[in-house]
Amino acid sequence: MIKGKIVSLNSSDAQENGQSLVEFAITLVILLILLAGLVDTGRALFTYLALRESAEEGALFGSTDPSNTSAIQARARNSSDMVRGFNSDVTVQVNVIGAACTGNAVRVTVTYANFPITMPFMGAILGSQTIPISATATNTILRPGCS
C-alpha cells in the first residue's frame, strides 16, 4: 500500500489552469500596449521639449535682430542637439508681429512634421505612422528702436 497524497486531475482543475493562462495572455497584451504607449509618449514629450528650447533660443536671438530671418532660423536649428539630428524634417518659421522695432514681438515656430510612432498598429488608428510636433515661442523685440 502506497501512502501519500491523492492528486485529483478532474476536468475542473484543468479548466482553471487554462482559464489562468488565457487571463495572463490577455493581461500581458494590455500591459505591453500600455508600456509601448508610454514609451512613445515619452519620446514625443522629449522631442517637444527640444523643439520648444530651439524656438525659445530663436525668439531670444530674434529680439535683438528681428529683420535677420535666416540668422534666427540658423540659431533655432543649431541650438539643440536633438533638432540638429533631423534638420531635413524640421522647419523654422519666423514672424514679426507689427513693425520690426522695440516693443513689438517676434514669434518663432519650430515644427517636426514626421515624428515616427514606434507602435505598429497605432498608425492604423491615427491614419499615419507619423505625427507632427510643433513648438512656438514669442519674445519682445528689444532693438532696434522705432523711428
Task: Give the pLDDT confidence of 68-97 residue by residue, as tens digits.
Answer: 999 999 999 988 877 666 667 899 999 999
Residue 17 or residue 105, greater confidence: 105
Number of helices (H), then strands (E), belonging to the chain: the values are 4, 3
State the pLDDT at residue 71: 96
124 vs 39: which has the higher pLDDT = 39
Range name among 4-13, 34-43, 71-80, 117-126 with the lowest pLDDT average: 4-13
Lowest mean pLDDT, pick from 34-48, 63-77, 84-98, 104-118 = 84-98
- The total of other beta-carbon atoms located within 10 Å of residue 140's CB is 12
What's the pLDDT band for 4 if we cut at 50, 70, 90?
low
Interval 48-63: pLDDT, tens: 999 999 999 999 999 9
Place of cell 519620446: 43
DSSP 62-105: HTT-TT-HHHHHHHHHHS-HHHHTTGGGEEEEEEEESSSSTTSE
User: What is the rounded distance in angstroms from the CA atom of residue 139 to the CA atom of residue 118?
Assistant: 35
* pLDDT for the residue numbered 146: 84
Give the global pTM: 0.80
Q: Identify the sign of the CA torsion 15, 20, 26, 28.
A: negative
Which one has a higher pLDDT value, 81 or 31? 31
pLDDT mean over 111-115: 92
Using the 8-state DSSP alphabet, how is residue 120 labeled? Answer: T
* 8 Å CB contact between 113 and 91: yes
| 15, 16, 21, 38, 123 from 24: Cα distances, Å | 14, 12, 5, 21, 26
